[in-house]
């Protein structure tokens, strides 16, 4: 069950080399608790990894790395128009989206093809094409790493926000999520107003009725055309969050750059497209050593030539410095940096 000194390169989508002192893939709650109790007795820190699609490893991990294996799907309750479904943390996210659609449980179509696991999805409240997973989460179950005690938090308690949750704030690095309960609709409904999605549907499927299946196909096509597949070109999706600025700063920026893309942000702020800011600074498709900016999406950094975590970060720092100098906007990394 436990392995020592394991190279994590196959377990993170940036394909970075870093060794875990101890590595474990528990298949049951008992195995998970046994591994946590061993970590406590050896005073090891614990890192739940998922599929490693949102982490930048810059050095070895001196503790226990966990990859949960539970991938069960359990229908808990069916009421008029909705279902409650518990899903094991280890299930691949896209497989879950596909299976939910196959079962006639709607809502997750816009989140198709996002790399990672079900257990990781609440941590940064994954989102794409106008939808965030928080809209469909009923509750999140897991275990506190220090005590092994179980928790069950409802949606409100998870404090979801844009690419954020309690699991990135007060509970950061303190829990492992073991399952998520989703509330999905049995009545087909579609969200297709996001510009890139709307344009694709208008161009390719103008005369067809909008169904959840069609929306999912469109999301997959749009993602495949812009975002690199981490299996083919190592990456962690967006490397920065879209920054949010005050209305005053936005007005000043818009006067100077009338084409600046913008969206409603949180608490009256204005959300800017980090990809556009980076693109304007001329970084799209450019490299710094072995670390590169993707040629179709400036927000995605790719490990094209066997870069180290430090080299990926050097590129990210250079980009953030240019964006700050030109727009006075600070970019924050989206993945977790170790
Ligand atoms: N743009 C550029 N240059 C580029 C790419 C985009 O100028 O190289 C402009 C586009 O023209 C558009 C704007 O930037 O006006 C936004 O681009 P896009 O619709 O591609 O979305 P994004 O804001 O760059 C976000 C998410 C993605 C998600 C897409 C689609 C974040 C940090 N990223 O990207 O999520 O797939 O919207 O909903 O919120 C991820 O989190 O890993 C991720 C890929």
Average pLDDT (55-67) is: 98
Rounded Cα–Cα distance for residues 114 and 132 (Å): 12
Average pLDDT (228-238) is: 96
pLDDT confidence tier of residue 1, bands split at 50, 70 and 90: confident
Average pLDDT (88-101) is: 98
Is the pLDDT confidence value at 269 over 90? Answer: yes
Residues having CB within 6 Å of any atom of ligand 1: 128-129, 194, 196, 227, 237-238, 241-242, 261, 273, 275-276, 279, 284, 297-299, 334
Average pLDDT (157-173) is: 97
Q: How far is CA 185 from CA 22, 98, 110, 211, in A?
A: 41, 15, 14, 13
Q: What are 127's strand-pairing partners?
A: 132
pLDDT value of position 205 = 95
Mean predicted lDDT score pLDDT of the chain: 97
Let me know if 193 is a catalytic residue: no
pLDDT value of position 109 = 98
Let me know if 238 is a catalytic residue: yes
Average pLDDT (164-176) is: 97
Average pLDDT (82-92) is: 97
Is the pLDDT confidence value at 132 over 90? Answer: yes
Mutate to test the pocket of ligand 1, among 94, 128, 243 (most ligand atoms within 8 A of CB): 128
Higher pLDDT, 292 or 2: 292
Average pLDDT (88-103) is: 98
Non-local (6+) Cβ contacts of 80 within 8 A are: none
Q: What are 176's strand-pairing partners?
A: 143
The minimum-distance atom of ligand 1 relative to the CA of 280 is: 7
List domains and CATH numbers for the chain.
2-66 (3.30.43.10), 73-185 (3.30.465.10), 235-337 (3.90.78.10)
Whether the Cβ atoms of residue 247 and residue 268 lie closer than 8 Å to each other = yes
pLDDT value of position 43 = 96
């Amino acid at each position: 069950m436990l392995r020592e000194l394991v190279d994590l390169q196959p377990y993170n989508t940036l394909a970075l080399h870093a060794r875990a002192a101890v590595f474990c893939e528990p298949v049951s709650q008992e195995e998970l608790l046994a591994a946590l109790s061993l970590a406590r007795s050896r005073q090891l820190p614990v890192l739940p990894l998922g599929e490693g699609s949102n982490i930048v490893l810059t050095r070895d991990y001196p503790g226990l790395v966990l990859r949960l294996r539970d991938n069960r799907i359990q229908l808990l309750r069916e009421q008029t128009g909705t279902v409650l479904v518990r899903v094991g943390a280890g299930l691949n996210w896209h497989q879950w989206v596909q299976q939910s659609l196959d079962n006639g449980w709607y809502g997750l179509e816009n989140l198709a093809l996002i790399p990672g696991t079900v257990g990781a999805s609440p941590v940064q409240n994954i989102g794409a094409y106008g939808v965030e997973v928080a809209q469909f989460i009923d509750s999140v179950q897991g275990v506190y790493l220090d005590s092994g005690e179980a928790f069950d938090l409802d949606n409100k308690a998870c404090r979801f926000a844009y690419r954020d949750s309690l699991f990135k704030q007060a509970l950061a690095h303190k829990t492992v999520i073991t399952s998520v309960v989703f509330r999905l609709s049995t009545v087909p409904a579609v969200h297709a107003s996001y510009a890139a999605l709307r344009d694709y549907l208008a161009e390719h499927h103008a005369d067809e009725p909008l169904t959840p299946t069609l929306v999912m196909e469109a999301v997959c096509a749009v993602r495949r055309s812009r975002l690199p597949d981490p299996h083919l070109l190592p990456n962690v999706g967006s490397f920065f969050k879209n920054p949010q600025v005050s209305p005053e700063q936005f007005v000043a920026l818009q006067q100077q750059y009338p084409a600046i893309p913008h969206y409603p942000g949180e608490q009256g702020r204005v959300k800017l497209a980090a990809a556009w800011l980076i693109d304007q600074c001329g970084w799209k498709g450019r490299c710094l050593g072995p670390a590169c900016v993707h040629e179709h999406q400036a927000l995605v950094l790719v490990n094209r030539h066997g870069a180290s975590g430090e080299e990926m970060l050097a590129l990210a720092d250079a980009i953030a410095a240019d964006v700050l100098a030109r727009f006075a906007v600070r970019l924050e990394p989206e993945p977790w940096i170790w």
